[in-house]
Every structure is written in C-alpha cells, then in structure tokens.
Structure 1
Amino acid sequence: MYKHAFAAAFITSILFALGFFVPYVGEALVLVGFAPLLIYLSKEQWSYKKSFFFFFFSGVLFFGITLIWMFSLLPLEWAGVESASIAYALFVSAWLLVVCSFALWWGVFGAGVAYLSIWMGSHSWNLKILYALSIAGLWVLCEYARSFVIGFWGFASGSSSFFSEWTLGSLVYGMTDGWVVLLASVGGIYLVNLVIIISNVLVFLWWSTASTKKKRVFGGAVILAGVMGVASLGGVFFVKWHERANRSARSYEVVAMRTDIPRAFVYAQSDRAASLRASIGHVVALPQAIDILVAPEDGDMLSFDALNGMRLIDRMKKNNTLLVDHVYTRQANGVESRTLYWRPDGGIVGFQGKHILMPIGEYVPLFVGSILSLLGYQHAVGTYEDARALAVAEKGPPVTDVRGTYASIVCSEASNPNMVRSLGKNGADVIFLQASDTLFRGNYLYARYMISMARVRAIESGRFVVRASNAGPTAIIDSVGHVRALRAGGSEGVAGQVPFLHIVTPYARWGAWPVPLAGVLLALGLLYRRYPQ
C-alpha cells in the first residue's frame, strides 16, 4: 500500500511542478493537483502520521523540482569557498534546509486536513462546503506562515527581519497563463490560493461520492471547467477595465536595457565594458524618441558612459530622457543598493533604496555565518563581507517627476507582494524592476520563474512592470500580467509604450485580507469538528 501512497504524492508534486515550467497547462493542473493525494489518504482513514508524511514528501518533491535552478549558484568560488567538495556539501545542505522547511508547512497542512476530514464522511453537501472552505482557510494560513521561512533562516541583525515575506514557491506562480490568477488584483496570492484549494477539495469530494468511474471523471471535469469558466468571465471584465484605463492614461516610450554581462559575482569595470558598450550602442541606434530608460541592477550606466564617450548621455539629451539607473552608495551604515533617477536637464531627480536584501547573495545570514565559522571558514565570511555585503536601505516613497510618479524594486524584492502593493497605493504610476541574474545566466527554469513573479506583481498592483536585467529576462509586463515584450538573450533590450495608470486595485487598497478570512473559515471548521451538535 505504501507504493500507492508514494505514487499519489509523486503525481501531486509533478502536476504542480509542470505548471511552473510548461506554458498554458498550469492553471488546470494546479486546480486539481492535490486530488490524487486526498483520494488516497481518505482510503487510509485519514491517519495523522500518513497525512503529515505524504504531504511533506510531496512538498519535498515539488519544491525540489521547482527550486532546482538554485544549483546554478555552484561552484561557490564567488563566495570565497574554493574547495568544490565543501562548496557542494554546504550548498546542498542549505538547499535541502530551505526545501524541507517549505515542505514542513505542507505536512502541517496534511495533518490539519486529516483532523478536519474525520467527521465529513456521511454529512450533507452543505457541511461538505464548510469542510472545503475550512481546509482552504488552513492552506492559506500555512502558505502565509511558509512565506516567513526564508526570513527566519536568513536573519542577520541589521541586514534582515524575521518578518520579511518571501512568496517563493507559491502555487500561484505556476498558473500565470490562466484566468484564475487575475483574482490576485482583488486579494493577492492568498485569494488565489483559497480558490485553488476549494477547487481541489470539491474535485476530491465528488470523486469520493460518485458511484462510477465515468461519473467521477465527468463530475471532476465539470467542477474544473466551472471554476475556470467563472474565473474567465470575471477576467474578461477585469481586462476590459484595464483596457479602458490604458486608453485614458498618458503613455510613454520606455526602454528596458539588457546588458548581457558574463557570469560573475563581483565585477571589475573591464569585465563588463564590452557588454555595456554593446547595450548602449543598441539604445543609441533606436529611431524612436525615448522617454524613460531603465538600467538593470548593478548598471551604473551614468558613470560608465561618462567615462566612455558619453554616447548614452548625448542620446538622452535629444528627448530629455529619464534614466532609471542603479548604483551602490556608501552611507553611514555601509554600502547601500539604490535606484537613481537622473535627467540630463535637471540632474538627480531622486533615489530609492533596496530594503529587502537577498540572503547569501547580499549578506551572510547569522545561521550560515555560524556554520562556516564552526567549519573554520571565518576567512570566507570576512572576504565575502568585504567584497559584497550590503546594508539595508530605506525604500522611500515613489519619486515624482515631470512625466509622472515612479517606483522601483530591486531583484529579490519582487518576491514580496506587500512592498509592490504599497508603492502602487502610494501613487506610483509604473513599477521598475531592476534585476541582476548573472549567476543564473541561461537557466530557463529560473527565467520563467522570475517572469511569473513579475507578472503576479503587475496584476496585484494594477501597474505595468518594466523588468531590466543584466543577464536574465528583460520584459515589459502590462497591468493584467501579459508579457508585452521579452528578451532573454543578447545585449539588446526591449521597448514599448507604457501607460501610466492611476487605478487602485482592491488588493492595493485592502492588502492581504484573505489571510484573516482564512482564519475565520478555519475557526468555523474547527468549531464544528469540536462541537458537531
């Protein structure tokens, strides 16, 4: 019997994982992915241990598959670890820690499902609807708790917070080609998660009660089609709303650069000079007027161009182009990562800082530093901190200029929905996403993952997201999550008309309201479970 349980867990993980890496299939697969595991565990009389273990096991497989792109970080010579064997041992240990910590919350969810499921067998469909809602509430709370895992393991005093929200691994990122994801504009990824589990549980309930296999398959297909159909009808109205807003908004020609930097972690100017010159050459050769030019993280285009012929600056003077540059500045608390807004006729327009740093990528977490020190690698920690460690900067409000109000997020900040939400709520007309992807250069899985996150952030905020990268995908994404322009290779960027929108989505206005709603739904299920009379 255990082989059937492992098979069910494997099928669940594969269904979810396919949505991340195969276009257009994710929505349907995510909406039914848990059904095989639920069906099997119901036959096992909802054993707590089995439910916890097989949900945990399925989570390990799912996160292991969807986060496999992290192995692009190897080898770790960039972090001061020269021994290949030690580098692999350290990395695999850290990777497994993240994967298992994520999967732990799937296990907690599985145990909770078993607890709630014991009483549902012979009850009416009205109570089964309550059962589905309470399980969906449990899932949302587990996903919300899981979003703080990276903040927990990545904590370092002065560099991060225990309460940094990282939504890496959310099932929502596997369904960005569908309609259901548009619900993120109403309640963020947690509302979408609520719908995901309701759909899964309804399919499971129908499968468990239908008398024949034919009825099971037909009923499951009807439920799936119903969820997707209702979502598509709502999505049509949502898209029409945004189309009207786009027509009434002022649009500007925006160019996002792709500098095609070779794989490296710390650069000398000479290492990137040829790539930057080629990228600048493409911008200079564009025939259209450029209103805004967005450089990637670690761009420092202004300083480079000033020392290399000023071709870009001269081109910007023609249209008084706003440059959205990225620089590192030394402040009292250390070196900060900052977005610099600059215009030829007025100089510096404003700054915004990077407030959420990437663990290991931009600072050494307390846990990792302690392990390295115990292993005798104090010198590696010191070398890394001298060469790369950054200080947390204040994000600051959106920056207002003659053309509109702008906001930037830098690389890892894209995984934090609340940050992007607050920028849109505080008046930003457009979101610029500056990314450094050199260590993941050429990794298709990573590129698709990053674009999926950017698409969801665009939907949540109701704003165009312009992503500029030095080695990964450069794109213009509209306010309903459609990719208007994309370039994944070469030193040529993307260009397009970007409307500056002023609409406020329900999510931007009210935030993650599905999380407290999930608490209420779970409480109702627990109350009935405890006091069925």
Structure 2
Amino acid sequence: MLSNPLARAPRWAAALVLLVAGALQTLTFSPWEWWWLGPLSVALILSVTLFQTGRQLFLSGWLTGLGLFASGVTWIYVSISEHGNTSIPVAVLLMTLFVAGLALVHGIAFWGWGKLAKESPVRRLILFPAVWVLTDWIRGWLLTGFPWLYLGTAHVDGPLAGWAPLAGVHAITLIITGTGAALYGLYSLVRSRRYAPAAILGVCTLALWLAGPALNRFPWTEVSNKPLTFATMQGNIPQQIKWDPDFLRDQLMVYLGLTEEDWDRDIILWPETAIPITQDEAGPIIEHIRSKLGEESVLISGIPWYTYSTNREDYTYHNSILAIGDEGGGVYHKQKLVPFGEYVPLEQWLRGIIGFFDLPMSSFSPGPKYQDPLIAGEARLMPAICYEVAYPDFVAMNARRGNLLVTISNDGWFGDSIGPHQHLQMARMRALETGRYMLRGTNNGVTAVIDNKGQIRGDIPQFEREVLTGELRTVSGNTPFMLTGSWPVLTLAAILVVFVRERVIPKNR
C-alpha cells in the first residue's frame, strides 16, 4: 500500500511544496549545477499529487510550472525592461503572463496524467516520467517551442552524462523523473515492510545511474589527430548601441582590432551580428576582411542578410552567418527564430503598442531546412545561431552533415542574469550528444571552446573584451542519438502511456 506523507497538510503548505519543488529544478542548472536536486524535486511533487483528483492535479501542475519558470527564466525581464524600452510595470506584467502561460503546459499535463492513470497510485508512479518527458517534447515544439530547462541538461557534468550520446537529453530526463518516482516508491515499500520489491526497485534504479559513467567512456566518434587553430573574439559591445548607425564604425574597429594578431588562424569567429549591417551594405568590410586573411584562414561572422525569398515572393531579412576565405565559405540562415526578439507573432496587431514589440531587427524570416555546412579547409562546420542550440534534435540532425559545430550568440539581451549560463550549459549538452567539438562565440560571454565530451577547454568570462585562442579538432562518425534523435525515448514514453492506461496494471492496485 502506497502512502502519502502530505495527506494531512493544509492546502497552503501543499502549494508551497509544489512551488519549492519547481524552483529546486532551477538549481540543477547553471550557474549552480546541483543536479542531485532533480530526483528530490520529483519525489516532492509526487508526495503532494499522487492521490489528488483531476481538478486538483491541474492546479498542482500549474504551481509546479510556476515555481520552475518563475525562478528559471527571470532573464526574460532583462530583455523586456532594460533592452525593450518598456516600463517596469508593463515588463513585470509581460513576464508574469509569459511564466503563467508556460506553467499552464504543466497544469494540462498533470490533469492528463490523472485521467490516464485513474485512481491507481502505482499506475501514476509508472506514468509520471513518461508524461513529464512527453510534456517537455511538446513544450519544445508548440508555437515554435521553448526547449529550455530540460532536467536532463543539468547532467552534462553529472553521472548520467554518458546517456546523452546514446539517447539524448530526454532520455536523461526520463531517468531523473523515474528516479524521483522510485524514491517515492521505495519510501512506501520500506514503510510497509515490503523489502524484496524495494530491493529490486532500488537495484534497477541504481543500475541506470551506474551505467552513465561507463557509457561516458565509450568512444562513439573518432577525433582527428590533426588540430585546427582558432581565435574567437568577444567584443563586449553594449546592447544599447548595437544597432545605432553612429557607432557602426566603432563596432567594426573593435573586432578588426581584436583580430589583428590572429588573421592566420585556421578559423576566426566573430559573434552574432558582429557585422551589424546587411551583406549588400557590408561589401567594403567583407573585402577588407578577405584581404587581411591568411591563405588558409576562414573568418566566420554573424551578419543580417537581405535577399529575395521564393517562399514569400518578396525581399526578406535573415539572421545569418557568413564564412569568408579562399579555403572555404558559405552562408547559413537561422531557422529557429525567437518570438518577439526576431519576429513578432500577430505583428499587424502588436507592432507599435509598446517598445518591446518594436525591437531592432525583429522582422527576420526563418531560413530553409537542410542547409549546407560552412567550409573551413577540411572542417565542415554546422552552425547554430543563439536560440537554435537549445533544440536537441535540430542540432543532432544538422550535425550529421558536419564534423565540427559552431554557435554564435548575443547574450547581451540577458544582462547579468542566469540566462547566459543556462545557454552555455545547453551548448555543452549538444556537443556531448553529438560527440563533436563546438566553438562558441558571443558578444559579451560566455565565449568558449567545448570538446566532444561537453567539457569546456577554454573560455572568456562575461563582460570582458578579449580573444580566445587555441586548438580544436574535427570528428568523424555519428553517435547513436544523431542517427535516431529522441524518437526511441518518446516512443518508449508513448508505449508506457498506452499500455499502463489500458489497465495492464489492475485498477484496484
């Protein structure tokens, strides 16, 4: 018989536990990285929700999501208030609506969990990890997606890291939530003196955690013996002048000056929109760069791109990367755009209402699918611009066409918040999932080089104007996750939902 340790707790206490449990998950991510709080958070959630009715479950799910997002995405306020020309009350209102709206996804998921599992607490324990993972996937897809704060991301430095190249971040999330459910089950089994099933459950759960370090030693991909030299520049340009034409020359001189000693590097990386004018206006600076480059050097920079779109049958803007050099080249147009930052949903109604809906360069269009890699000698670099690195399957699919990853960003939008640290952690998880080195260039941090195990091999602290130099290596071969994506884990979750829902476990248990 399963027990409920919070059965007699007042409603306000139960609500507080859920808010705290959601907030504990934020502490598993950077900059804290207390990954061990993940299963504990899940066990706390279950201690409140396991015996609740459908209507109660909706509210509990919403409170859990509220605790998670209110603590984990506070950087949204910086973008809206400090850089969105929006008053403090309006910024607080918009952030509140955003957080409350995201939390609704968890509310609906918990309600559905109750409908699927009915009154059986055993069935609820089995279904909870599956429902959580499917909810994460839906949240990363719905309305262009918000693939942020996946519990598995916290384990880029945790014991479950070895599962990432095998099955991806959602598989790690499944293990974490499953462990939380197992902790609750162990508590109930031991309390009712059912030691044999408790031992079996404990051993099975522990085996998944012990497998992580073993899997992390497996060489899924082969690292080249030939190093490539690189230099990436962090200009630390204030966001307030980024799109001011009066400061255009100053910005370009900053990056040209930072590059002065490194024109002969194999790969030179400037961050997102380091060239803050479109390619048709940037001809002279592009030619100047080409004239300064070494014979085998390639410079890669973010740049807005103005071109004719056959899809829209009109001229349009892209947030793009341009590779310049005799030994390579190429252009990549960003596919995953940030709502309100790079395009405005319901633009015809929202434009002009407040400053946040009129941010500079917020009229981009997504680029086409299946774009070619950027070429730098023998390196085939698959790019991801800013927000795109948060999408595990997107990066894994693209990585199959390249032997090196590159990502650029302008995290100046998030100021001195936790957002840039979370962003870097997701980039590290993508490198781990694909078994590829990643070069990350940002305007104001954190600029870094990441190896094929997701470990940082060099970085520049935030808010410093500096150059990072070193060596990185191309990689051959694909990890299992690159070949399958998240579908095996999602299929497993769906199978659990279907068969457990169909009363494979009797209702009276």
- The answer to whether the 8 Å contact 1:442/1:472 transfers is no
- The answer to whether the 8 Å contact 2:296/2:377 transfers is no
Which amino acid is the alignment partner of residue 381 of structure 2? Y
Q: What residue is the counterpart of 1:189 in the other structure?
A: 169
Distance 1:352 1:410, change over 3 A: same
Q: Distance in 2 between matches of 1:204 and 1:469?
A: 42
Q: What residue is the counterpart of 2:274 in the other structure?
A: 299
Give the one of 115, 132, 137 matched to 1:139: 132
- The answer to whether the 8 Å contact 1:264/1:439 transfers is no
Distance 1:306 1:59, change over 3 A: same
Which amino acid is the alignment partner of residue 301 of structure 2? D
Could you report, residue by residue, the CA deviation over 1:400-457 in whole angstroms, capped at 9, with x for unpaired residues? 45322122111121122232112112x21111111122222333x0121110110111
Question: Comparing 274-283 with 499-508, which one deviates more in the overlay?
Answer: 274-283
DSSP 3-state at the match of 2:329: strand
Q: Does 1:13 align with 2:6?
A: no
Structure 1 residue 336, shift from structure 2 partner: 1.9
Q: How does 1:247-326 map to 2 (within 5 A)?
A: 248-264=224-240, 266-271=242-247, 273-274=249-250, 276-286=252-262, 290-300=265-275, 310=288, 316-317=293-294, 319-326=295-302
Give the one of 475, 480, 485 matched to 1:506: 480
Q: Distance in 1 between matches of 2:357 and 2:147?
A: 30
Q: What residue is the counterpart of 1:231 in the other structure?
A: 212
Distance 1:280 1:401, change over 3 A: closer
- The answer to whether the 8 Å contact 2:130/2:496 transfers is yes
Q: Does 1:330 align with 2:306?
A: yes
Q: How does 1:378-393 map to 2 (within 5 A)?
A: 388-393=362-367
Q: How does 1:50-449 map to 2 (within 5 A)?
A: 50-75=56-81, 84=87, 88-89=89-90, 91-115=91-115, 120=120, 132-149=125-142, 151=143, 164-211=144-191, 227-235=208-216, 237-238=217-218, 240-241=219-220, 245-246=222-223, 248-264=224-240, 266-271=242-247, 273-274=249-250, 276-286=252-262, 290-300=265-275, 310=288, 316-317=293-294, 319-332=295-308, 333-343=315-325, 345=326, 349-366=329-346, 370=349, 372=350, 377=352, 388-395=362-369, 396-425=371-400, 427-443=401-417, 445-449=418-422
Structure 1 residue 530, shift from structure 2 partner: 8.4
Structure 1 residue 305, shift from structure 2 partner: 11
Q: Does 1:36 align with 2:10?
A: no
Question: Comparing 294-303 with 28-37, which one deviates more in the overlay?
Answer: 294-303
DSSP 3-state at the match of 1:101: helix
Distance 1:118 1:356, change over 3 A: closer
- The answer to whether the 8 Å contact 1:357/1:412 transfers is yes
Superposition TM-score, scaled by structure 1 size: 0.81
Which amino acid is the alignment partner of residue 209 of structure 2? M
Could you report, residue by residue, the CA deviation over 1:72-113 in whole angstroms, capped at 9, with x for unpaired residues? 11436x65x5x626xx42x33433333223222322333344
- The answer to whether the 8 Å contact 1:399/1:407 transfers is yes
Q: What residue is the counterpart of 2:4 in the other structure?
A: none
Structure 2: which 5+ residue stretches go unaligned?
1-9, 309-314
- The answer to whether the 8 Å contact 2:21/2:67 transfers is no
Q: What residue is the counterpart of 2:463 in the other structure?
A: 489
DSSP 3-state at the match of 1:413: helix
Structure 1 residue 177, shift from structure 2 partner: 1.9
- The answer to whether the 8 Å contact 2:264/2:293 transfers is no
Could you report, residue by residue, the CA deviation over 1:34-55 in whole angstroms, capped at 9, with x for unpaired residues? 101212334xx33222222122
Which amino acid is the alignment partner of residue 168 of structure 1? W
Q: Distance in 2 between matches of 1:144 and 1:212?
A: 36
- Compare the two structures and name the one with the higher helix fraction: 1
Question: Taking every aligned residue pair, what percent have the same amino acid on both sides?
Answer: 19
Structure 1 residue 508, shift from structure 2 partner: 0.9
Structure 1 residue 462, shift from structure 2 partner: 2.0
DSSP 3-state at the match of 1:257: strand
The size of the alignment, in residue pairs, is 483
Distance 1:294 1:6, change over 3 A: same
Q: What residue is the counterpart of 1:156 in the other structure?
A: none
Q: Distance in 2 between matches of 1:62 and 1:379?
A: 27
Distance 1:378 1:48, change over 3 A: closer
Structure 1: which 5+ residue stretches go unaligned?
122-127, 152-163
Which amino acid is the alignment partner of residue 92 of structure 1? V
Which amino acid is the alignment partner of residue 35 of structure 1? A
Could you report, residue by residue, the CA deviation over 1:105-156 in whole angstroms, capped at 9, with x for unpaired residues? 32233334445666545xxxxxx5x76443322222221122234x2xxxxx
Q: What residue is the counterpart of 2:441 in the other structure?
A: 468
DSSP 3-state at the match of 1:210: helix
Question: Comparing 263-272 with 296-305, which one deviates more in the overlay?
Answer: 296-305
- The answer to whether the 8 Å contact 1:476/1:485 transfers is yes
Structure 1 residue 20, shift from structure 2 partner: 1.8
- The answer to whether the 8 Å contact 1:294/1:468 transfers is yes
Superposition TM-score, scaled by structure 2 size: 0.84
DSSP 3-state at the match of 2:272: coil
Q: What residue is the counterpart of 1:453 in the other structure?
A: 426
Could you report, residue by residue, the CA deviation over 1:196-218 in whole angstroms, capped at 9, with x for unpaired residues? 211111011111222299x9xx9
Q: Distance in 2 between matches of 1:509 and 1:468?
A: 27
- The answer to whether the 8 Å contact 1:258/1:491 transfers is yes
Q: Distance in 2 between matches of 1:473 and 1:300?
A: 19
DSSP 3-state at the match of 1:95: helix
Q: CA RMSD in A?
A: 3.3
